[in-house]
Amino acid sequence: MTMVCAQSGPAKGGGVGGVAVRRIVRIVGTWSRSDSSMPDRATATMGALALAAAVTLAGCGTTVPRSEREAAQSTGLGATSASTAATAATAGGSAASGVQTLGATGLAGAAVATDGTPGAGNSPAATSGPAIGATTGSSLSGTASSREIPPTGRGWDTKHVYIGVTTEQDFEATASSLGYGGIDPGDTSAQATAFADDINRHGGLFGRTVVLSFIDVPSISTAENPDPEAQAVCTEFTQDRPVIAVVNIVTILDGTTLRSCLAQAGVPLFNGSDAAMDNQAAQSLSPYLYSLVAPSWNLLAPALILSLKAQGYFGGWNSALGRPDPTKPVKVGVLTDDTSVGGQVSAIITKALTAAGYPGAVAFQYAPPGSDIFPAILYFAGHGVTHIISDDIELSAFQLDAQTQDYVPRYGITTYNDPYANLQKVAPAAQNTGDVGIGWAPTYDVSASNDPGPVSSAETSCAALETAAGVQNSDRLADAFGYVVCDGIRLVADAAGSGGGFSPLDLYRGSVEIGAGFHSAFTFSSGLSATNLTVPDAGRPLAYVASCSCFRYGSHTSIGW
């Protein structure tokens, strides 16, 4: 029997700064601190946490690697050259082929003008683009060369095409003011400009210059109340300064408001957020939500559990001493936040555990945002949990407080937990002993000294373009953000080139056409398809190595999901 506990409400300790830091941690996937700067949360809030925990406790009773990818030629930044596609279209040649038939999450029932502007139809998004989350198939006929692009449309005119990019330029200063020094997420504007400039040097898109429209969001106010900022960003990019797509890397901005607002307006979001994702969340907004960083847990969970099993994760473990103990029975805990996606992910992981022979998982959902995670520790310890799997970046917060209680379970980890910057750099080393899992993003998973080398030619190209533009990244996090932004801008441009235009339908068609041929700068391989708009689709075994107090990949062979 699976036990589930959902924290009924957030603990209020920590004040504005505490809440903001917890939310900011979600943005960048890192806490970097000196020993003197970390507040002793366990001591300062023990009374309130114990009370909250008591209330909470009283109320809670065959992975097969993907087949070899189709080789793709690249010019400049693109896996599919947008300028080449533009030339082919202008000359009457073919830049995309055939008919794409949409599957379970395809487009249906929408009447859409070729420029993606309002049309007639009976779908939720019929006033602005293809249907959101339609469940019936529909054929997309024609090639890129056979469709004429209107001279103007939402997000483009005769000379320019506009792409929206979010930034958070005050993050480093904000984090430092809260006691978390040494964090450098990089200069997103400069990075993005370097990538757009390269596209323009290669002819732009269909004879038009790519122009980036930036919106900068303030860290503290967005962390405390993201919905107004998200609404403002949506309004800016859909009405005031219309764009063909938005590239977002600010995780605290990512949520229902931003996603739904953009989708209802028919503007695709190419999302660099590391918030947990599942099929339901992804498909409900398809084809307006593309995930550059976060794979769906529906696909990831079975691969993770089988990889954990292969790495010997499910052996007996003494959670008081933090070491193997064959006399201790294995009991797995699943830690997620108390959101609809968190609930779905918890159920998905629990199902995968049961299928692999480990039933009876104990689940706890903590109340976000920025709430204390201490009640989860008492709950898991009280129910004899020896192994824990968490779906997001809050794992390091759990580990910090768990150490104060001499509770040292064994963790099954993924890139979602940000192993390098959060677990290795922040959490006590004792908490990471025995950690194993799957990672799909070297800049999030391991230090520079343990990097396995470029994930593709795109990583090399993106890094070279930054260097040529005078962009200097002083932190691995800045490298990560640069690669994500590079992927987002490249994918929008390549999709437009392959899809034959700038409308949401064209971008979707082009993304499907590119598919697994998209070479990511951030992750090992692409899973883009008619029914999957998340890029990461393979990872490598990842483990904490005590001798170096670091995370390393255990193989150069990727595990597909």
| Percent of the chain at pLDDT exceeding 90 | 65
Q: Hey, what amino acid is at 193?
A: T
Sign of CA dihedral 114, 119, 121, 124: positive
Of residues 82, 75, 81, 264, the one with CA closest to residue 161: 82
pLDDT at 170: 86
pLDDT in tens, 131-186: 544 322 323 333 444 468 999 999 999 999 999 999 998 887 887 777 766 677 88
From the CB of residue 340, how many other CB atoms can be counted at a distance below 10 Å? 11
- In this structure, are residues 293 and 271 in contact, taking their beta carbons and an 8 Å threshold? yes
Alpha helices in 180-296 (DSSP H): 188-201, 219-224, 226-235, 256-265, 279-284
Q: Distance (Å, rounded) from C-alpha 331 to C-alpha 312?
A: 15
Residues 6+ apart with CB under 8 A from 232: none
Segments of 18-127 assigned E as strands: 100-101
Residues 255 and 252: their CA atoms lie apart, in Å, by: 8
Mention every residue, 6+ apart, whose C-beta is less than 8 A from residue 212.
Answer: 162, 163, 164, 165, 192, 193, 196, 489
What is the predicted pLDDT for the residue at 27? 40
Give me the helix-helix angle, 188-201 and 476-499, nearest 10°. Answer: 40
What does the angle CA 528 – CA 533 – CA 536 come to, to the nearest 5 degrees?
A: 65
User: How far apart are the two ends of the chain, measured CA to CA in Å?
Assistant: 27
Predicted local distance difference test score (pLDDT) of residue 7: 60
Q: Are strands 209-216 and 139-140 parallel, antiparallel or unpaired?
A: unpaired
pLDDT at 59: 37
Q: How many whole angstroms separate alpha carbon 194 and alpha carbon 165?
A: 13
Residue numbers of the chain with a pLDDT score lower than 50? 8-76, 78-130, 132-146
Measured CA distances, 544 to 320, 322, 410, 432, 556 (Å):
19, 14, 11, 6, 16
User: Distance between CA 226 and CA 275 in Å, rounded?
Assistant: 14
Give per-residue pLDDT as tens, 241-268.
Answer: 999 999 999 988 998 999 999 999 999 9
Domains of the chain, earliest start first: 3-33+47-61+298-439 (3.40.50.2300), 82-95+150-295+456-523 (3.40.50.2300)
3-state secondary structure string, 303-317? Answer: HHHHHHHHCCCCCCE
Separation of alpha carbons 101 and 97, rounded Å: 12
pTM of the model: 0.80
